[in-house]
């Protein structure tokens, strides 16, 4: 089963499953088109956007369990 972690680069997370983009958008993280996505970790972006990164990782991984 695929899983993500907060130390992964956003662009790499989006390659795991394109549906993850909706979770990022919902949290106010419009990372899909952002140049920083290719070099910023989920944790770095989450801190910058005031997002609970651990909760987001849990939500993403729960989503991935449904599409596995």
Q: What is the DSSP string of 13-40?
A: HHHH-TTHHHHHHHTT--GGG-GGGGT-
Task: Please give the distance of CA 30 from its chain centroid, rounded to a whole number.
Answer: 10
**CA end-to-end span of the chain, whole Å?**
6
pLDDT by 10s per residue, the chain, length 68: 799 999 999 999 999 999 999 999 998 887 677 777 788 999 998 888 899 999 999 999 999 999 96
What residues are paired with 8 via a beta bridge?
none
The correct CATH number of 10-67 out of 1.10.3910, 2.40.160, 1.10.3470, 3.40.50 is: 1.10.3910
């Amino acid at each position: 089963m695929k899983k993500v972690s907060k130390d992964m680069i956003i662009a790499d997370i989006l390659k795991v499953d394109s549906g993850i983009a909706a979770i990022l958008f919902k949290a106010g993280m419009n990372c899909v088109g952002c140049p920083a996505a290719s070099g910023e970790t989920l944790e770095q972006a989450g801190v910058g956007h005031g997002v609970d990164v651990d909760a987001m990782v849990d939500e993403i991984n729960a989503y991935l369990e449904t599409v596995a």
